Chains A and B, each alone.
Chain A
Amino acid sequence: MNGEGLTVRDLRVTFDGFTAVDGVDLDIHPGDLRFLIGPNGAGKTTLVDAVTGLVKATGSARFAGQELLGRPVQKIARTGIGRTFQTATVFEELTVLQNLDIAAGAGRGVWTMLRRRKDVPEPVEKALETIGLSALRDRPAGVLAHGQKQWLEIGMLLVQDVRLLLLDEPVAGMSHDERQATGELLQRISEERTVVVIEHDMDFMRSFARSVSVLHSGRMLSEGTVAEVQADARVQEVYLGRATEPAPSAPVASTQEA
């Protein structure tokens, strides 16, 4: 019911001598809504890349009693981990419905695959409603607005039935109302699943985070509740002395619309 936790120990990722993630420990408890923040180049996305198998890493990342490191991407996905990307990645030429149907189908047998989809699977129908795209189900995903694409991606993770969602800047480029709606959606999702959000928008983090981890130069700088992290002197230092207003590289993100 409460998703599944993620335990990362001494995770290291090195690209050609450059250490992007430098010995990170991270404990995400089941049902958490964790925000992962930090300045550009802190290693947030690389951390998620390592956990989902996109880049090679040393150390350990355990989920649902299994070691993730060293396994191929699709095997890690099948343990119940889903992720999104900074740029919304949906199948542009397929319809919203087809996108969701594919996301729901990794466990389908040969016979089902070789036949046409007769009706809409129930989880897909439910996800369409949850992400508010029911009316647009037959549109190609490529014509959706930016925010709608990001919701579609979240919907794909829901029908994929993952227990851990790793979302890379899910509200980038969204309007204020869209951010609010997305945050509420994430809170609802985290009642049944574990959610980790990489984010630059501090207002968004303050409104919706249940706990926060701050990364800096590939290391874990601070962890705790929003208040604890904001009171941490080291965090304030990293964000250039802006004591309670850590707003790093993307100040425009909070006002700009796609």
Chain B
Amino acid sequence: MTTTVTPTAPAPAQPSAPSVLTRLRVPGGFLLGAVLLLGVAPLVLPDFRLSLLAKYLCYAIVAVGVSLAWGRGGLMVLGQGVFFGLGGYAMAMHLKLADAAATGQTLPDFMQLYGTSDTLPWWWKPFGNPLFAIAMTVLLPMAVAAVLGFFVFRRRVKGAYFAILSQALAAALAIWLVGQQATTGGTNGLTDIQGFFGYDLNDPVNQRTVYVIIAAALLLVMALARQLFVSRFGELLVAVRDSEERVRFLGYNPANVKLVAYVVAAGMAGLAGALFVPAVGIISPALIGIVPSIGFVIGAAVGGRASLVGAVLGAIAVAWAQSTLSDAFPAAWTYLQGLLFVLAVGFLPGGLASLATVVRNRRTRPTGSGETA
């Protein structure tokens, strides 16, 4: 049998035996990221810039989940705003209750203004407990994703249909929140949050602490995603993405594989939403609806959705560009955002992270007819 094997396959670009350098690449890169995020950034950035970065890092946490579900799992998660929102509202509900309690009130300020009753709605009450609220920021999105994913993946809804369904859900949640002004703050959302577990958020020192928590959470989430990427589950997830039917014939149920990726991504989005609240001081329907849901995936698409670092850097870069450019050209940003998305998905599916490979492949095959850009 071996005599018939003809080595016709082109030689791969990477060396066959991993050198010390490649083995140190990942832990080294992780360490560098930790030093930059936890050491350098707090030292060199003024308060205002650092709190902006904290907000971008929240988007980056969502992007880590997007990278897992979309980049590796092929699930076009265009509705991560739902999970970001659930996490954000769970956190904000607790902080509003704590703010109210600090001033001797039982109802949050907006309920006193718009509320129809003097008592707290029953579903607000458990969020007075900090541990319950913190757990819910992650568990609630995961539970919703689990129920939704169970039905959706079992019925083999995929591709554009899955994307549209996700979008519709994000729209539905935003619309519902707007309609419940007396209990959710409506269009305004939950605003003017003052304290974070006893610490005054108006104090710059505490804002810096919030930044450090967010940066640490991002590193943790990246480490978790990295483990999933290199695990056997990660390999299977790519297999499901590329040939779901084949995986089924090997005796696996692809619906379960996708469900795990989807639920983990939802948990990450929930965590990001929860951390977004103390960093920015607000959560509102406008931050979790259709447009922000698309925004959550654009960064990952531009940076490289299948690459963890690409997705994170892309999310930070796009968020930075948005706050910089949308101030200068508020009308143009939406178009630019759409253009970026189309260009990345249509012409550079691997994102900027794949640019080096694409260029290298072109150099080695100058006669190649495939136009990539």
B331 to chain A, nearest CB (A): 40
Inter-chain contact A181/B249, CB cutoff 8 Å: no
Does B44 lie at the interface of the complex (its beta carbon under 8 Å from any beta carbon of A)? Answer: no
Does B233 lie at the interface of the complex (its beta carbon under 8 Å from any beta carbon of A)? Answer: yes
**Complex formed: what's the CA distance from A181 to B3 in Å?**
9
**Complex formed: what's the CA distance from A207 to B6 in Å?**
23
A50 to chain B, nearest CB (A): 14
Does B16 lie at the interface of the complex (its beta carbon under 8 Å from any beta carbon of A)? Answer: yes
Inter-chain contact B243/A91, CB cutoff 8 Å: yes
**Complex formed: what's the CA distance from A134 to B228 in Å?**
27
Interface centre among B230, B243, B252 (most CB of A within 10 A): B252
Inter-chain contact B252/A131, CB cutoff 8 Å: no
Give the number of residues in B that approach A within 8 Å (Cβ atoms).
33
Q: Mark A74-87, 1 if CB is under 8 A from B, else 0.
A: 10011000110100
Q: Which of A85, A107, A145, A177 contacts B9 (CB 8 A)?
A: A145
Does A98 lie at the interface of the complex (its beta carbon under 8 Å from any beta carbon of B)? Answer: yes
Q: In the assembled complex, which residues on chain B have CB atoms less than 8 Å from the CB atom of A133? A: 5
Does B368 lie at the interface of the complex (its beta carbon under 8 Å from any beta carbon of A)? Answer: no
Q: Mark B245-257, 1 if CB is under 8 A from A, else 0.
A: 1111111110000
Give the number of residues in A that approach B within 8 Å (Cβ atoms).
54
Please judge, given known A-B contacts A113-B231, A132-B2, A132-B5, whether A83 and B239 are in contact too, CB under 8 Å: no
Does A94 lie at the interface of the complex (its beta carbon under 8 Å from any beta carbon of B)? Answer: yes
Inter-chain contact A140/B12, CB cutoff 8 Å: yes
**Complex formed: what's the CA distance from A108 to B235 in Å?**
13
Please judge, given known A-B contacts A89-B246, A133-B5, A177-B4, whether A102 and B239 are in contact too, CB under 8 Å: yes
Inter-chain contact A145/B6, CB cutoff 8 Å: yes
User: Which A residues from 16 to 72 make CB contacts under 8 A with B?
Assistant: 52, 54, 72
Q: In the assembled complex, which residues on chain B have CB atoms less than 8 Å from the CB atom of A139? A: 9, 12
**Complex formed: what's the CA distance from A99 to B238 in Å?**
11
Q: Mark B1-15, 1 if CB is under 8 A from A, else 0.
A: 111111111101000
Inter-chain contact B251/A114, CB cutoff 8 Å: no
Q: Mark B218-254, 1 if CB is under 8 A from A, else 0.
A: 0000000001101111011011001101111111110
Inter-chain contact B235/A143, CB cutoff 8 Å: no
Does A221 lie at the interface of the complex (its beta carbon under 8 Å from any beta carbon of B)? Answer: no
Interface on chain B toward A: helix, strand, loop, or mixed SS?
helix
**Complex formed: what's the CA distance from A90 to B81 in Å?**
35
B8 to chain A, nearest CB (A): 5
User: What number of residue pairs across chains A and B have CB atoms under 8 A from each other?
Assistant: 115
Inter-chain contact B251/A113, CB cutoff 8 Å: no
Please judge, given known A-B contacts A98-B235, A105-B232, A114-B231, whether A160 and B251 are in contact too, CB under 8 Å: yes
B5's nearest neighbour on chain A, judged by CB, is A132
Q: Which of A94, A102, A116, A135 contacts B5 (CB 8 A)?
A: A135
B242's nearest neighbour on chain A, judged by CB, is A91
Interface centre among B1, B7, B239, B253 (most CB of A within 10 A): B1
Does A253 lie at the interface of the complex (its beta carbon under 8 Å from any beta carbon of B)? Answer: no
**Complex formed: what's the CA distance from A246 to B233 in Å?**
47
Inter-chain contact A145/B8, CB cutoff 8 Å: yes
Q: In the assembled complex, which residues on chain A have CB atoms less than 8 Å from the CB atom of B239? A: 91, 94, 98-99, 102
A115's nearest neighbour on chain B, judged by CB, is B231
Please judge, given known A-B contacts A94-B238, A102-B250, A106-B252, whether A130 and B1 are in contact too, CB under 8 Å: yes
Please judge, given known A-B contacts A77-B249, A91-B246, whether A132 and B4 are in contact too, CB under 8 Å: yes
Q: In the assembled complex, which residues on chain B have CB atoms less than 8 Å from the CB atom of A101? A: 232, 235
B112 to chain A, nearest CB (A): 48
Q: In the assembled complex, which residues on chain B have CB atoms less than 8 Å from the CB atom of A228? A: none
User: Which A residues from 115 to 154 make CB contacts under 8 A with B?
Assistant: 115-117, 129-136, 138-140, 143-145, 148
Inter-chain contact B4/A178, CB cutoff 8 Å: yes
Inter-chain contact B249/A83, CB cutoff 8 Å: yes
Q: In the assembled complex, which residues on chain B have CB atoms less than 8 Å from the CB atom of A105? A: 232, 236
B119 to chain A, nearest CB (A): 44
**Complex formed: what's the CA distance from A89 to B249 in Å?**
11
Inter-chain contact B243/A143, CB cutoff 8 Å: no
Inter-chain contact A160/B250, CB cutoff 8 Å: yes
A117's nearest neighbour on chain B, judged by CB, is B232
User: Which A residues from 161 to 197 make CB contacts under 8 A with B?
Assistant: 177-178, 180-181, 184-185
Q: In the assembled complex, which residues on chain B have CB atoms less than 8 Å from the CB atom of A148? A: 5, 9
Please judge, given known A-B contacts A132-B4, A148-B5, whether A143 and B238 are in contact too, CB under 8 Å: no
Does A11 lie at the interface of the complex (its beta carbon under 8 Å from any beta carbon of B)? Answer: no
Inter-chain contact B235/A94, CB cutoff 8 Å: yes
**Complex formed: what's the CA distance from A7 to B243 in Å?**
29
Does A93 lie at the interface of the complex (its beta carbon under 8 Å from any beta carbon of B)? Answer: yes
**Complex formed: what's the CA distance from A98 to B243 in Å?**
14
What are 21 sample pairs from A and B whose C-beta atoms fall under 8 A apart?
A54-B245, A72-B248, A72-B253, A73-B245, A74-B248, A74-B250, A77-B248, A93-B242, A101-B232, A113-B232, A114-B227, A114-B231, A130-B1, A132-B1, A132-B2, A133-B5, A136-B7, A136-B9, A138-B12, A181-B3, A185-B1
A102-B232, A143-B12 provided; 4 other pairs, C-beta below 8 A?
Answer: A78-B251, A102-B247, A116-B231, A143-B10
Report the 7 A-B pairs with minimum CB-CB distance, sorted nearest first: A106-B251, A77-B251, A181-B4, A73-B248, A132-B5, A143-B9, A78-B251
Q: A residues near B, CB below 8 A?
A: 52, 54, 72-74, 77-78, 82-83, 85, 89-94, 98-99, 101-103, 105-108, 112-117, 129-136, 138-140, 143-145, 148, 156, 160, 177-178, 180-181, 184-185
